[in-house]
Structure 1
Amino acid sequence: MPPPGSGTQEHLIARFRGQSRRLFFSGLILIAVAGATGYFTDNLPDGFENWMLWAAAGTIVLLFVVVPYLAWLSRRYTITTRRVITTTGLIIHRRSELSHARGYTMTVTRGPLQRLWGGGTISLSNGAEPPMLLRNVPNVRLIHEVLVDQVEINQILAHRDAQALPYGY
């Protein structure tokens, strides 16, 4: 514990992305498109050419494999000893932060598939701003416990620092 009144260093606790289970169907589509393209190349009926097959395969892969992967890649969550940070976007980054010291309420929502895979969605609300959603968090119980511990520790430190300062400052 740092001495009262001194600043505490911020340390990284966890950095993660949402569960990648939504990419399962993208993987299946990629395998099916690759197999179908390999099979039908030079075996197409009259009136169709190979470039049409390759264009259709490229479009399907772009829409159902690349776009979902980029959507998953664009969202990152960071938990430090002072705050929770969500970063979204690949080209234009949007960053939201929520301080542990201010305190917030946590709601964990878990659907049937999320319970099966050990994930869930955590909603963090401080009452003044819109809730921060951590979607498809892997190992949601552990992350929830870490957030509860960090809020408690930061509020204890803030209370101790407020009590340690003499009046008149």
Structure 2
Amino acid sequence: MPAPGAPTPELRIARFRRHARRLFWCAIVLIAVAGAVGYFLGNLPDPFEDWMLLAAAGLVVLLLVVLPFLSWAGHTFTVTTRRVIERSGIFGRHSRELSHVRGYSIQERRGIGQRLWGAGTLTLSNGVDVPMRLADIPSVQLVHEVLADQVEVNQILAHRDSQAYPGPPPPLPS
């Protein structure tokens, strides 16, 4: 614990993305497209040419593999010692944050598929702002415990720092 009134540095506790199981179908599409291109390249019926096959395969990979991956990779959640930050966007960035000091309630929701993978959705609500939804995050119980601990520690520190501090402590008797 830092000394009363001393500034505390903001440290990153965790950074995570949504669960990667969302990319399962992207991987299946990529494998299927690679297999189809390998089979049909050079064996196409008469009116079609190889460049048409490669262009169609490239378009399918772009739309069904690359864009979903970029969307998944561009959405991150960061938990620091002071706040929770949600950042999203591939080209433009959108950011939201929620301070631990103000306090918030944590609601956990887990569906059947999420329970199989250890994932879940947390909703953080402070009663004033729009609730922050951490959807489909891995190790949801661990993240829930960390957030609850950070709220408690930050509120204890804020309460301690708000108390009147008279000055240096009296010397100890010798």
Q: Give the match for residue 86 of structure 2.
A: 86
- What one-letter code is carried by the residue in structure 2 that aligns with 1:18? R
Distance in 2 between residues matched to 1:132 and 1:161, nearest whole Å: 27
Q: Which has the larger radius of gyration?
A: 2
Pair 1:118 & 2:118 matched: yes
Q: Give the match for residue 69 of structure 2.
A: 69
> Which segments of 5 or more consecutive residues in structure 1 lack a partner in the other structure?
none
Distance in 1 between residues matched to 2:101 and 2:44, nearest whole Å: 65
- What one-letter code is carried by the residue in structure 2 that aligns with 1:93? R
Q: Give the match for residue 53 of structure 1.
A: 53
- What one-letter code is carried by the residue in structure 1 that aligns with 2:56? A
Distance in 2 between residues matched to 1:9 and 1:125, nearest whole Å: 25
Q: Give the match for residue 101 of structure 1.
A: 101
Distance in 2 between residues matched to 1:22 and 1:15, nearest whole Å: 18
Structure 1's consecutive aligned runs of 4 or more residues displaced over 4 angstroms after TM superposition are none
Distance in 1 between residues matched to 2:107 and 2:88, nearest whole Å: 21
Deviations 1:85-135 (A, max 9, x none): 111112211111110000001111111111100001111111111111111
Q: Give the match for residue 9 of structure 2.
A: 9
Given that residues 4 and 164 in structure 1 are in contact (C-alpha distance below 8 angstroms), is that contact kept between their aligned partners in structure 2? no
Percent identity for Structure 1 against Structure 2: 60
Distance in 2 between residues matched to 1:51 and 1:164, nearest whole Å: 76
- What one-letter code is carried by the residue in structure 2 that aligns with 1:161? D
Kindly report the root-mean-square deviation, in angstroms, between the aligned alpha carbons of the 2 structures: 1.1
Quote how far apart the aligned CAs of 1:165 are.
4.4
Distance in 2 between residues matched to 1:66 and 1:52, nearest whole Å: 20
DSSP-derived class of the 2:163 partner: helix
DSSP-derived class of the 1:45 partner: coil
Equivalences, count: 166
DSSP-derived class of the 1:164 partner: coil
Given that residues 5 and 164 in structure 1 are in contact (C-alpha distance below 8 angstroms), is that contact kept between their aligned partners in structure 2? no
Quote how far apart the aligned CAs of 1:164 are.
3.2
Aligned pairs (5 A) from 1:18-33: 18-33=18-33
Distance in 1 between residues matched to 2:61 and 2:90, nearest whole Å: 19
Distance in 1 between residues matched to 2:99 and 2:14, nearest whole Å: 15
DSSP-derived class of the 2:70 partner: helix
Distance in 2 between residues matched to 1:13 and 1:128, nearest whole Å: 25
Deviations 1:116-166 (A, max 9, x none): 000011111111111111111110000000000000000011111112346
